[in-house]
Structure 1
Amino acid sequence: MPSSPPQPGLPVRGSRSGKPIMALFDLLGRSWSLGILWQLSEGPLTFRELQSRCESVSPTVLNQRLKELRACLLIDHRQRGYELTDMGWELFGLLEPFGQWSFNWADRFKQDSRDNE
């Protein structure tokens, strides 16, 4: 497991360029990063609540992702639990349309599967 979160300006998995987009893709490509952000979009959650909602995530992985997402300024730990920061909300706003797109894709996929039977 990587020991430090990806940072713009530094090499990351799959890229030595240091480009910010590559650091973001590295962070979001790590297991459970997107799931944690998605869950926190519904409001603050404690560690146990997050673990329950993320179902199969181990405590070790969840703890590591939370540390990384905090270090990258996307989430914070406050009195009510973990929650998205302003930057986290901004990123979620960019990711949220993928949710609706995925339903459209699933419908099309099902339709194509039926048409090919």
Structure 2
Amino acid sequence: MRHLDEYSSKRISYRRMTVCDIPAVVRMRVQQLKDEGAQADFELKPYLTEFYERNLETGLYISWLAVCGEEIVAASGMSFTEKPPYYKKSNWKDRYSIQYVYSGKAQKKRDCTGSIKESNR
């Protein structure tokens, strides 16, 4: 993945992830985990592929992608879950977790207008 400075003069658009994006998002997710220091002790790609295929179809996972031309330059992901009812929360059906927001390893990044944004790390 290139540094986002390379995209500062180009237009970045945003769209929802589709099944066609799974291979690219899987590569980004593996790179994110490595950047965060995870040890690759088994092949994660098939499990990620199956997760995205299953959960995109059911709507339990959504992702928004930042795209410059044909290249995905950043991704976010959110998983939705429903937990059994319990006493402390009256609305147990509204459960979600932000899974990740990733745009590469660099500590500072530039958006498409060239202004500096703090890293997500």
Higher relative contact order (CA 8 A, sep 6+): 2
In the superposition, the TM-score normalised over structure 2's length comes to 0.27
In the superposition, the TM-score normalised over structure 1's length comes to 0.27
- Whichever structure has more strand as a proportion of its residues is 2
- Whichever structure has more helix as a proportion of its residues is 1
